[in-house]
């Protein structure tokens, strides 16, 4: 019971920090809207295609180091094996730097090929400029993963929640002030990436100590690290392709104007799964500790608890985005409203990811990285095949359908495998409560959307009315014991401060 209380408290505290990080990331949609309006639809689409390339290659460049830092740092520290934890830290950093550096060089050399493939000559000049961002982004991912593996969540807040969105916004505005254009946007993106990496490095040194970090970089290679992370790195690459194949297929078959509309729809619906991404780096080290200590009851408890919290947070976001889909896309411009149908399909896909996405960490932290790779390859192949078949016929709606089908198959397959191999699943009857409350909120928001005529009042009332209806339904259905305990602690703390 004491361990459960400690795990729940750690998840809650870290979750709050990650939530604040997500709030900070809320500045990123503002940046995208600004870029779309200042630089034009075509430039925004080309920029999104370039960012998609960098994101995929950065995931590949991390070479599985994110999962490796989560697993080995947390497990070795729990067992008192600090020397092995230090070697894992250094091995992950060196591997990511080497692999991502090679990939960045390859991108710079192959930029003309991508430019011809997408019939966009400007990419031949801008992709080499953005190539260093592959190395910078991969390094940032591994450095932040190390701090989260040490169960310190505040660095991620400082870097991803505050530094990243602010720097991207400022550099984008500077690019426009210096004349605009895709080339200046590319320079701005690389500049922001470099500053973000510097922040991540400073944060990692803060957590571990500068001397510890320097010793880790020169320490001997961790035994077993490469064997674990290489399949995981390949899985990360396939996962990135799974997430970004729609972007590449649309750029090839539908053009950058269609890609711009789709990117706006996909970016806003991505917020639905953000609560799950907030807990990814919280639950993974805890699961790694529990598996290392052979405590499967602790694994089951944490997986079910955090999944319930993720669904509770994601469900009302999904409902509100679906109801306000036209108003959201209208922020980008009138041409973007054509993406409302695709937005609904993408919202469902991200909600599936939110509900089931934590379960695969049990397989990964148990060392089954090869199994994850097999599943990811299968899902990526399905996504690409469906995208190639549907996009020429249905445009952005076809890309959204391909994503929904592949993501659902991927998450369901991994959930079943986790149960069969590890006898762990996230499902309890308490999960039905936030889903039922979301249906109540959907009914309330739909009614308000239909009957309120003024646009600004409609948006405000839909958001406020949906939140009230959802909270009231949750309270009527009853909070779980962990939630009641946390609320009780919060109330007691607030009363203590008020005296």
Provide the sign of the torsion angle of the four alpha carbons 118, 122, 125, 129, taken in this order. negative
- pTM greater than the 0.75 cutoff: no
Which of 225 and 9 is assigned the larger pLDDT? 225
Q: What is the mean pLDDT of residues 445-465?
A: 92
Domain boundaries along the sequence of the chain: 2-427
Which of 92 and 490 is assigned the larger pLDDT? 92
**Least-confidence region, from 262-271, 344-353, 467-476:** 262-271
What would the pLDDT profile of 240-287 be if each residue is shown by its tens digit? 766 777 887 887 888 878 888 898 888 889 888 877 877 776 777 788
Q: What is the mean pLDDT of residues 358-364?
A: 85
| pLDDT at residue 190 in the model | 94
């Amino acid at each position: 019971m004491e361990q459960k209380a400690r795990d729940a408290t750690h998840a809650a505290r870290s979750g709050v920090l990650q939530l604040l990080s997500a709030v900070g990331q809320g500045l990123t949609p503002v940046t995208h809207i600004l870029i779309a309006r200042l630089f034009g639809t075509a430039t925004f689409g080309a920029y999104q295609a370039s960012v998609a390339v960098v994101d995929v290659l950065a995931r590949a460049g991390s070479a599985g180091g994110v999962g490796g830092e989560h697993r080995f740092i947390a497990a070795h520290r729990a067992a008192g094996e600090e020397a092995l934890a230090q070697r894992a830290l250094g091995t992950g950093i060196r591997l990511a730097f080497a692999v991502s550096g090679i990939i960045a060089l390859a991108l710079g050399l192959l930029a003309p090929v991508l430019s011809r493939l997408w019939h966009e000559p400007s990419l031949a000049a801008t992709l080499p400029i953005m190539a260093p961002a592959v190395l910078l982004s991969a390094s940032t991912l591994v450095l932040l993963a190390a701090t989260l593996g040490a169960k310190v969540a505040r660095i991620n807040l400082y870097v991803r929640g505050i530094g990243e969105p602010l720097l991207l916004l400022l550099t984008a505005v500077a690019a426009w002030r210096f004349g605009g254009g895709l080339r200046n946007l590319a320079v701005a993106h690389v500049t922001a990436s470099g500053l973000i990496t510097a922040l991540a490095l400073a944060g990692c040194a803060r957590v571990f100590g500068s001397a510890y970090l320097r010793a880790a970089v020169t320490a001997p290679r961790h035994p077993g690290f490469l064997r674990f992370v290489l399949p995981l790195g390949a899985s990360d690459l396939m996962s990135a392709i799974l997430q970004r194949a729609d972007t590449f297929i649309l750029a090839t078959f539908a053009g950058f104007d269609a890609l711009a509309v789709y990117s706006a729809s996909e970016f806003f619906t991505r917020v639905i799964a953000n609560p799950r991404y907030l807990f990814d780096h919280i639950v993974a080290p805890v699961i790694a500790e529990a598996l290392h200590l052979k405590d499967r009851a602790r694994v089951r408890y944490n997986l079910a608890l955090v999944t319930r919290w993720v669904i509770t947070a994601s469900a009302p976001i999904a409902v509100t985005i679906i109801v306000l889909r036209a108003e959201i896309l209208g922020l980008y411009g009138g041409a973007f409203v054509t993406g409302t149908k695709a937005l609904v399909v993408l919202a469902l896909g991200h909600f599936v990811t939110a509900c089931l996405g934590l379960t695969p960490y049990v397989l990964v932290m148990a060392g089954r990285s090869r199994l994850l790779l097999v599943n990811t390859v299968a899902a990526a192949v399905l996504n690409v095949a469906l995208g190639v078949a549907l996009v020429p016929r249905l445009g952005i709606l076809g890309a959204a359908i391909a994503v929904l089908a592949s993501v659902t198959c991927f998450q369901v397959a991994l959930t079943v495998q986790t149960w069969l191999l590890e006898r762990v699943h996230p499902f309890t009857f308490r999960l039905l409560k936030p889903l039922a409350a979301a249906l109540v909120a959907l009914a309330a928001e739909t009614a308000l959307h239909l009957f309120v005529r003024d646009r600004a009042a409609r948006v405000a009332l839909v958001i406020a009315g949906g939140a009230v209806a959802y909270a009231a339904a949750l309270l009527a259905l009853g909070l779980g014991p962990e939630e009641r305990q946390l609320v009780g602690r919060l109330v007691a703390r607030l009363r203590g401060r008020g005296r």
